[in-house]
Structure 1
Amino acid sequence: MDLDLAQVRAFTVTAERLHFGQAAAELFLTQQALSKRVARLEDALGRKLFERTGHGVELTAAGRRFLEPARELVRAGEAAVAAARLDERPLRIGVWGHLFAPMRTLRTLVDREPGLAIELGPRPGFTEAMAGLRSGEIDFGLGRTHALDEPWPPAVTRRLVRLEPVKAVMSRENPLAGVDVLSPADLRAGRMWFPAPAGRVGFLAAFAAHFAVPADFAGINLGLDPFFGYLHDHPEHFSLICADVEVPPAADLHEAALAGPVPLYAWHAVWRTHERHAVLPQLLAAFAAAARDEGWLDHDPQRHWLPEEDMPSA
């Protein structure tokens, strides 16, 4: 019998969730498409794998017997694909959160490990990066992950790799532009702006809610130059970006450090849990070395603030 790996993966994820809706979301499928894959697998095996109950779904006896070998089959398939591709291409990295300049972090790693065989490409956001991991279009992602309405998918590993201070940027005509250091509470006298819906900028939305800072999330993200140009032309607004992002002198903007507490922007790395690309261990080791040498994961709750979902694990 020739088993379809996509169908087997659909079964294993559903068996782990015991919920078709959650499994479909993890696999980036509709529930209808997921149900069809499971039904075709059951037809091929000649056995029912799930029993629908009033409370959801449960594995049948055949489903319980099939689960662990099915997991092994999925792992073997992923390992086979990784082995076949190993010598043919670099590790493909997708990045998002472009106004916070994720390339700076990767440039630091490449400077530390110049032999890293990586290939970079932008992703519109976290959801698109997760879809790229699932489809195999990318092998690794770097950006801020969002809160999920369900447990983190076991097929994807997530790791906090950097906590970066942010600063306020604004027109020199902004009423807040008279000082070089502001507290988050000071920002309540202004109005924060960012060119994206609040749902795509979880850090800024959480910051605004926590410190009661008025905020407008509107507009289109066209890159740093239009971003700086908007702030220059709209002195009623300020925005937040990572402290190391360079503001060109031609932008003619005021920059203010934040303190009391210092907000930290969290960068996460995500990759397929069973990824076997040879460059992955080198890249993770480079992240760990940079965190150790440059304090990328330093966090003091008395001096820093970041959203609860970004808190480092104890």
Structure 2
Amino acid sequence: MDLEAVRTYVAVAEAGQFQKAATDLAITQQAVSKRIAGLERDLGVRLFARTPRGAEPTVDGQAFLPHARELLRAADRAAASVRPGARPLRVDVINSRGAASRLMRAFHRTHPGVELDIVMLLDIDSAVAAIRSGTVDASFRAVGAPGRPLPEDLTATRVLDEPLHLLTGPGHALAAARAVPLAELAGHRIWMPGLLPGSEWAAYYEALAGEFGLTIESTGPNFGSDVLLDTIADTPALATFMGEDTRLVWPTGHGLRRVPVTDPVPVYPHSLLHHRDNPHPALPALHAHLAAATAAAPTPAGAWTPSWTPARTPSRTPAG
């Protein structure tokens, strides 16, 4: 059913005249008559009876009028639901305890008027598909892994380089260290269950292990962070990597230690991905916030990232 014809029918019914409806709609009287005639053909009934004063709805026209108004209200609601700024900004943060989640919490505190939906997608393929389909507006990811180019309609801005820490139990050989040079981790078993093959996380740690001769094990089922912490606390031979901004709580009796890694500092490169043509008005505000926040946390001197990591450039606020 032609919604413009329905809108024209309601205008005539309310105005009582074809000419008055034409003026209200800023179209010609001929266009009004043509739309009404087409709607009557579609419905198979006459909607108006001509009178000396203009036009009055027939019995069928009176029956149709409340439904026509509801059709128009429904159409207006549908259009408003996708109008830029009328819906929350949807951002993928991967998980609730990492750096991306912290950045978005800070953005929410400084921009309380921006309505947010936070989602957590497992892998970059899902994130890219969601961005391209419009399911999400932006996603925090590491980009540039070999064989994983971004589609041309997406853009990525490197917004945060997060240093890695070594997490150990109290009995680990490095538990008392104030910091540990990256080269000294060779020969130590670093356990990271849940590294998804083909993910940007797996590509990052594969590059790190290959360049510095590290032993990174991802064997065994991934039962989540609680079991990982229990195992690290109880197993002196194992350690794991954890981002500096990852926030986990563990029992006091675990005695876990977070040891900064140095010489060089390995950093995980977080980028913000979004569609080049995304019109959501909150995206420029998010970019500006991230530019200010990450300028206060520059990349450590001599930091290490994989060779495939795009260069970090000043964040550019998208037009909008």
The alignment's TM-score, normalised by the length of structure 2, stands at 0.65
Contact 2:98 2:247 in 1 (8 A): no
CA distance in 1, matches of 2:308, 2:108: 29
The answer to whether 1:267 aligns with 2:265 is: no
1:256 to 248, 254, 259: 259
Query: Does the 8 Å contact 2:144/2:309 carry over to 1?
Result: no
Q: How far apart are residue 280 of structure 1 and its match?
A: 0.8
Q: Distance in 2 between matches of 1:119 and 1:154?
A: 25
Q: Give the superposed CA RMSD.
A: 2.5
The aligned runs of 1:204-283 (5 Å cut-off) are 204-248=205-249, 250=251, 251-283=254-286
Q: Tell whether the 8 Å contact from 1:99 to 1:223 is kept in structure 2 after alignment.
A: no
Q: Cα offset for 1:225?
A: 2.3
Deviation per residue, 1:25-72 (Å, 9 max, x gap):
xxxxxxxxxxxxxxxxxxxxxxxxxxxxxxxxxxxxxxxxxxxxxxxx
Could you tell me which residue of structure 1 aligns to residue 29 of structure 2? Answer: none
| Correspondences of 1:1-314 after superposition (within 5 Å) | 84-96=82-94, 100-145=98-143, 147-149=145-147, 151-197=149-195, 198-200=197-199, 201=201, 202-248=203-249, 250=251, 251-292=254-295, 294-295=296-297, 297-300=298-301, 303-313=302-312
> How many percent of aligned residue pairs carry the same amino acid?
25
Cα 1:133–1:83 shift into 2, 3 Å? same
In the aligned structure 2, how far is the partner of 1:262 from the partner of 1:291?
17
- Aligned counterparts of 2:193 and 2:173: Cα–Cα separation in 1: 21
| Alpha-carbon distance, 1:313 to partner | 4.5
What's the CA shift for 1:107? 1.4
Unpaired runs of at least 5, structure 2: 1-78, 314-320
- Residue 114 of structure 1 aligns with an amino acid whose one-letter code is P
Report how far residue 86 of structure 1 moved. 1.9
CA distance in 2, matches of 1:195, 1:99: 17
Report deviation, 1:270: 0.4
Match of 1:262, SS state, is coil
Corresponding letter in the other structure for 2:311? P
Asked if the contact 1:99–1:224 (Cα under 8 Å) also holds between the matched residues in 2, the reply is no
